[in-house]
A and B are shown apart, each in its own frame.
Chain A
Amino acid sequence: MAVVKLVLARLAQGVLLVFAVVVLNFLLIHLAPGDPAQVLAGEFGGTTPQILAQIRATYGLNHPLWVQLLTYIGHVARGNLGQSFYFNQPVLSLILQRLPATLLLVITAQVSAILAGTMLGVIAARRPHGWLSQGITVTALIGYSTPVFWLGIMLLIAFAYLWPIFPIGSMETIGFEGGIFHEALNILHHLVLPAFTLAFVYLAQYSRLSQANMLETLGSDYIRMARAKGLPEWLILYKHALRNALIPVVTIAGLQFSQVLAGAILVETVFDWPGMGQLTYESILRRDYPLLLGILLISAVVVVVVNILTDLSYRLIDPRIGAGSVTGVGYGT
């Protein structure tokens, strides 16, 4: 019950946030100097008077500002995010075509960074001064300071050109035919380099974080208690310590999601990955405002959804948060 309430509360917050983005989008167009119709049409040359008139009509630009705002919100609410002038397609369908590829990339990168990072962190925590631990620190430093696109290009040169074990770009081999399984393998093969590029920065970050958390957790009283109970070391490590050490990792992962999403723009461009990032890049390059604003909006929605998921998994790990303490049994002495 408490969980449902929580999700509803988070959804309400999310709707508010998305609404704010919508209003901001609106203001961006209307407070920018010049004719909003011109802005909306973009500087994609050859804007004819007909097109401008059409834009004025759809956006109700002849009406007072507040009517325009309401009209705009009405459009957005019905899923009408306008027309992309460069692609000459409705913005929403354009984004929805690209969203799965981006989600695949971002989620793969994020999940593998968390899994591999945590695993490395746990191993390193057993020997805080060992070579693995030091290696992780160095890698984390490199990760922080390496530009994502540079790393991507280097990986392309190394593993797609000099030693071509991975495809050079795109998401699927053109004209590839095969069963679902083979197709999935093909996509996976294309996914390796971009996902690794995107994961690299976070991988080292997560391993450092989980190493620090593990070290702290392993020094705690309940771990000593677990040892005093005679439990074997693996059980102590993977049951008692790891779960506690994961809590901050989940927090950070949730907070960083929007960063990863932003990082995907560069990675997708480098690897020609047909996702939202590439679309964003195009929309900026072509000054395709309706598309750009639509992307902002959908990204906000994605971030809101991810935050709700983070919150839920947080609660799944830690009974002290939310549900338990509110409705749980209280004891006196």
Chain B
Amino acid sequence: MREPHPLLAVDDLSIDMTVARGTVRILDGVSFSLASGETLGVVGESGSGKTMTALAIMRLLPQPSARLGAESRILFSGKNVLKLDERAMRRLRGREISMIFQDPMTALNPLFTVGEQIAETVRWHEGGTRAAAQARAVDMLRAVRIPHPERAVRSYPHQFSGGMRQRATIAIALACRPKILIADEPTTALDVTVQAQIFDLLEDIQEETGTAIILISHNLSTIARLTRRIMVLYGGRKVEEGPTREIIRNPRHPYTEALLRCVPGLRSEAEHDAELPEIPGTVPAPEELGGGCPFAPRCSHAAARCRSTMPPAAALGEKHKVACWLHEAAQSAVT
């Protein structure tokens, strides 16, 4: 809208996954965009499709079981990355778009020093001497606030604690100054105090470098602090999207509401690291979904129409969108 192209535009992303019982659609028509320097939160219960969305952007979906829908487009600076050949895609990964994963204990190769794992990325993407890459590694370790970076650069992952390792993966991910960092539940595996430190770090990095961040979590409260905008996924569909403040104050989708109800104190801005909220029932398996609203089996407002017909996305105000029949009145075809 404001720019000719947003930095990233995911358009009608669908993923079919081949499983033992056949093919299931694990992601269905998800669209969103990300502007330069923005932080977008992606929330949803386990299995809602957050990781698959991220992997689709990286083009690292499990092969050959995952297949993208024909209409799917992922535009990076206006170019469809799904059309790139593997070589061109590799130049994007780690250099323009980076990703860090949930479990820092296993994300680093145990046999190479932390410095080497940063430096190899730099050398591969930018060339230059070994010494220059090593120097960049030290800088990066300093940037993610690892003490004694000159020494740490020669350490092996097993000499680092979980929090340090996640800092190290962040250092790797940011080494080539990417425009986008996708952080897939970067703190789920860490202690509560360490979680807060990592979030502080991400916040600072964002301020300093202007890297756009997609922050994935199943915990609304952690996301609320760091993001300006939130997208809520449920059962492979985007059910609500809007400015973080608005969604926290005034959630419109029954699922988002339920998510928030289970995190007491959030609205009063208190810090909370409550676990996954308990909403009655469970996420339906993708193959159990009929044509209707994926949340219908657990929704207290569910009506007959909800079970038979998918609610379209409705715009509530300029930036707030919700896919729920309760807000049909506000309907004005949007995606």
Contact = CB atoms under 8 A, between A and B. Distances in A.
A associates with B? yes
Interface of A: 220-222, 224-232, 235, 239-240, 243-244, 317-320, 324-325, 328-333
B110 A244 contact: yes
Given A319-B156, A324-B156, A328-B155, A229 B111 contact: no
B107 interface: yes
B110 A319 contact: yes
Given A231-B120, A331-B147, 10 more contacts: A222-B106, A225-B108, A228-B60, A228-B173, A229-B98, A244-B110, A328-B155, A329-B155, A333-B163, A333-B197
Contacts of B326: none
A260 to B, nearest CB: 27
Given A244-B111, A331-B159, A331-B161, A225 B169 contact: yes
B156 A328 contact: yes
B144 to A, nearest CB: 12
B103 interface: yes
Nearest 5 Cβ contacts at the A-B interface: A230-B94, A230-B93, A229-B94, A221-B106, A222-B109
A227 B93 contact: yes
B60 A227 contact: yes
Given A232-B90, A325-B158, A333-B161, A225 B121 contact: no
Given A220-B106, A224-B101, A228-B99, A243 B111 contact: yes
B101 A333 contact: no
B101 A225 contact: yes
B91 interface: yes
Interface of B: 58, 60, 90-95, 98-99, 101, 103, 106-113, 120-121, 124-125, 146-148, 151-152, 155-156, 158-161, 163-164, 169, 172-173, 193-194, 197
B121 A229 contact: yes
A239 B109 CA distance: 10
A229 B93 contact: yes
Contacts of A232: 90, 124
A205 to B, nearest CB: 23
B103 A221 contact: yes
B194 A224 contact: no
A227 B155 CA distance: 22
Contacts of A227: 60, 93
Contacts of A317: 111
A62 B172 CA distance: 76
A230 B124 contact: yes
A225 B193 CA distance: 25
Contacts of B93: 227-230
A47 B151 CA distance: 72
Contact of B156 (A229, A239, A320, A332): A320
B152 to A, nearest CB: 7
B156 A222 contact: no
Contacts of B173: 228-229
B278 to A, nearest CB: 29
B94 A228 contact: yes
B109 A329 contact: no
